[in-house]
Amino acid sequence: MTGMTPIVKRIAQLMVPSILLLGIYVIVHGHLTPGGGFAGGVLVAGCFALLTLAYGTEEMKSEVFKWRASLLESVGIFIFWFLAVSGVVQGSYFCLNLISKSNPGIPFNLFSAGNIPLYNIAIGIEVAAALFAIFITVVVLKVGEKS
Amino acid sequence: MLTALILLTVLMILGAFIALESKDLLSGVISLGIIGFALTIIFLVLQAPDLAIVQIIIETMTLVILIAAIQKTTREDTSDEFDAKKVMIWCAGLVFIIVFLLAAIKAFQHMPAFGEPTLRMAQYYIDNGLSLTGASNLVAAIILDFRAYDTLGEATVLFTSVAGVVVVLRKMGRKRA
Amino acid sequence: MILFILAFLLFLVGLYGILIKRNLIKVIIGLMIVEYAVNLIFVLVGYREGGTAPIEMLGQKTFFVDPLPQALVLTAIVIGLGTTALMVSVAVRIYEKYDTLDVRKIRKLRG
């Protein structure tokens, strides 16, 4: 799959930092403003899909491999499981909100609400990697080819 | 506001008819994009900003995946000739759909009216959400603190679907000689 | 009540696409329409007249819409993309093996 004309390449190059910054902002501020893990994760995946479509597959094959996307996705789920099980280890119920019980922060600040921002980051990594892996497998690779 | 919702829903029904009846598959897929974007505006009117962000980007990625599928297979829908079996399928399908619609009209009369939901479960979350968890976004507090088990199940389903896509599209099939 | 009936009509249009159409891509489009209609009915159930989005802000009144259906639909949208991608990949493999996308002909040929 070839890339597009230089105008499209230039505009994609200019827009990608803003979209990536917006996606990371929506993930990290998930407990204060609308958004959260899922909305920020699909924004980051959409940004990478835009880069792949604008530049074509020959240039992108040297940058991001498919196995790296599936590795990141496994890391995301592993962090989620680790945070959830840590409540059981303490002797209480599953998915306990640890930090909020020990020292509650001031509400409406960035460092409040205990475990929830950590869950947001784990879900954001997992959703972004999963959607990007689906996109590459269906659109970019030819049938019968693995990389 | 009610008229805006009714007009958008009628637009979605018209778009669905065009998407299913067109002969060219590419124009059918683009009509599906109309339905997705109208659904985003309906989510914004119904005061659900998280859902609007997720819906608009997933709609765009679904369009890209479907267009890639059309590019790898045929582009025209040439399988709709008219023969006797088609009339029988049409009659059976129409009878089933009309019976389903009548049963649903009777069922919808027992639900609470539009605009006054019964908030038995959600009243506890609205009253005590900020003091129990410390998060301002109530939807994020529900999916990540009160009901985090469902979010774990959703992450597992997404992981399984990615594994399924990679396995199906990996090996070369046997070509008919 | 008229809004619920209209959203259910959208569900029935998608159901017509699944039952009666013969091209595999049309069946996939019908399934996606059914999924959109179900998400719409969920969010319509939880709307409160005069309420705002369920985000708490400093010093504002707390008359919210129902946040519970929104939390359920949020994960349902992302799962819908996963199932659509899986169906599309199976359709691509069927075309590569049988050289047609007609459901009547796929039953007759044996690869």
Domain with A62, as residue range(s), is: 6-140
Shortest Cα distance from A65 to chain B (angstroms)? 14
For residue A36, give the chain C residue with the closest CA.
C74
When the pLDDT of each residue in chain C is averaged and rounded to a whole number, the result is: 87
When the pLDDT of each residue in chain A is averaged and rounded to a whole number, the result is: 75
Residue A126 lies in a domain: yes
Tokens linked to A63:
């940058």
Res. C85 pLDDT band, cuts 50 70 90: very high
- Residue holding tokens 């369009």? B63
When the pLDDT of each residue in chain B is averaged and rounded to a whole number, the result is: 85
**How many Cα atoms sit within 13 Å of B42 on the Cβ side?**
28
- Count, in order, helices (H) and strands (E) of chain C: 4, 0
Of C55, C78, C92, the CB nearest to A38: C78
The subunits that touch chain A, with at least 3 C-beta pairs less than 8 Å apart, are B, C
Distance separating alpha carbons of residues B177 and C95, to the nearest angstrom = 16
Tokens linked to C66:
């129902």
Which stretches of chain B drop beneath a pLDDT of 70? 77-82, 171-177
Distance separating alpha carbons of residues C29 and C15, to the nearest angstrom = 10
Tokens linked to C2:
């008229």
Distances B120 to B71, B140, C13, C48 between C-alpha atoms, Å: 50, 19, 33, 14
- Domain count of the fold of chain A: 1
Q: Which DSSP letter does residue B173 get?
A: P
Shortest Cα distance from C89 to chain A (angstroms)? 7
Asked if A139 lies within 8 A of B68 by C-beta distance, the reply is: yes
B40 interfacial to chain C (CB closer than 8 Å)? no
A102 touches B29 (CB < 8 A): no
Asked if B46 lies within 8 A of C73 by C-beta distance, the reply is: no
ipTM surpasses 0.90: no
What is the three-class DSSP state of C66? coil
Of A42, A105, A112, the CB nearest to B54: A42
The length of chain C is 111
> What's the confidence (pLDDT) of residue B137?
84
Asked if A138 lies within 8 A of C85 by C-beta distance, the reply is: yes
Residue A31 lies in a domain: yes
What is the signed CA dihedral for A28, A30, A34, A38, rounded to 10 degrees?
A: 90
Query: How many other CB atoms are found less than 10 A from the CB of residue C68?
Result: 22
B104 touches B96 (CB < 8 A): no
Query: Which residues neighbour A77 within 8 Å (Cβ) at sequence distance 6 or greater?
Result: A122, A126, B155, B156, B159
Q: pLDDT tens-digit profile of B120-149?
A: 778 888 888 777 777 788 888 888 888 888
Q: pLDDT tens-digit profile of A104-133?
A: 455 555 555 567 788 888 888 888 888 988
Residue A28 lies in a domain: yes
Residue A1 lies in a domain: no
pTM of the model: 0.87
> Which residues of chain B does C74 touch, with a Cβ-Cβ cutoff of 8 Å?
50-51, 54, 139, 143
Chain B, chain C: beta-carbon pairs less than 8 Å apart: 238
Domains of chain C: 2-48+63-108 (1.10.287.3510)
The subunits that touch chain C, with at least 3 C-beta pairs less than 8 Å apart, are A, B
Res. A140 pLDDT band, cuts 50 70 90: confident
Q: pLDDT tens-digit profile of A24-43?
A: 999 988 888 888 889 999 99
Residue A145 lies in a domain: no
Percent of chain A past pLDDT 90, that is, above it, reads 16
